[in-house]
Amino acid sequence: MDDCPAGVTTGDALRWAARNLALAGVASPRLDAELLLGHALGASRTDLQLRWTECLTPEAAHALTALIRRRAAREPLAYITGRRPFYDLDLYVAPGVLVPRPETEGLVEEVLAWAQKWRAAGRRPLRIADVGTGSGAIAVTLARHLPEATVAATDLSPAALAVAAENVARHGLGDRMRLVRADLLAGVGGPLDVIAANPPYVPSARLADLQPEIREHEPREALDGGADGLDVIRRLLPQAAERLAAPGLLVVEIDETHGEAVRRLARQAFPHADIAIRQDLAGLDRLLRVSLDNRSESE
């Protein structure tokens, strides 16, 4: 059945969009075309299937053309649609923040697993800090899953804090979350039970090798970790050591080439802690995990 004998159908538009994105070098042209067409039509991906032979209105065609032009210029999909799934949440995302990555979900899982034991032991509500929060992905997800915790989230960038504030509001977390414009943990008192961070960790010389979406559109200050990529973590570790309570947990996302170097830095800052490097789903070193038991140094 064809409802659109002369014009352009939803199916035609999707094929056109996917072809253009493929020519532009986009890694997943068909999926991105579906998501952008759905965005233009206000329809889910399943709705699109049902509307396959429907005629595209001139307004929808116009909107889709503009969206495809942006994506073909390798703007991240999440900036164009304004949203990104992260863990089990739908987050608001805009230029000026790093697009939340699936690897970072592993960091959230690590904290939630630790927090489960904390709760099982009947301890008081957790005091959590998320350093360099960006969109607020880590902080908001933790606050959503730990209904008694208080979460302080810092960032130096006002643009990032505005995006994070929107996510805090959308998830109704204003009473338990505090956004602080600060460098690392400056402005956040201690003691803290959990400190989480996804700091910039890409060695400066490697920025040029990143895909265009990241290199040309995502904020450099959220990626550039200095000459060896370790500038920020080097400054963060002693600040964290001053504030982390015992028992306490520090988790930091790291570059896959930094496992050994980060383990050494962490040992200097936390001589008596339990220190581990954890891998992501691709099997790459991705996380520093430092835990203090109640006999450890601070507190």
Binding site for ligand GLN (CB under 6 A): 101, 198, 200-202, 214, 223, 253
Shortest separation between residue 201's beta carbon and ligand GLN, angstroms: 4
The H or E element that residue 92 is part of is strand 89-92
3-state secondary structure 147-169: CCCEEEEEECCHHHHHHHHHHHH
Q: CA nearest 111: which of 124, 93, 127? A: 127
Using DSSP's 3-state secondary structure scheme, residue 141 falls into helix
Residues 6 or more apart in contact with residue 150 via CB below 8 angstroms: 125, 126, 127, 128, 176, 177, 178
Q: Cβ 23 to ligand GLN, closest distance in Å?
A: 24
Pick 48 or 93: Cβ nearer ligand GLN: 93
Nearer to ligand GLN, 8 or 156 (CB): 156
Tokens of 291: 């835990």
| Nearer CB in complex with ligand GLN: 68/232 | 232
Q: Return d(Cα 193, Cα 33) in angstroms, integer.
A: 43
As measured in angstroms, the least distance from the Cβ of 158 to ligand GLN is 19
Smallest gap from Cβ 21 to ligand GLN, in A, equals 20
* Nearest CB to ligand GLN, comparing residues 38 and 200: 200
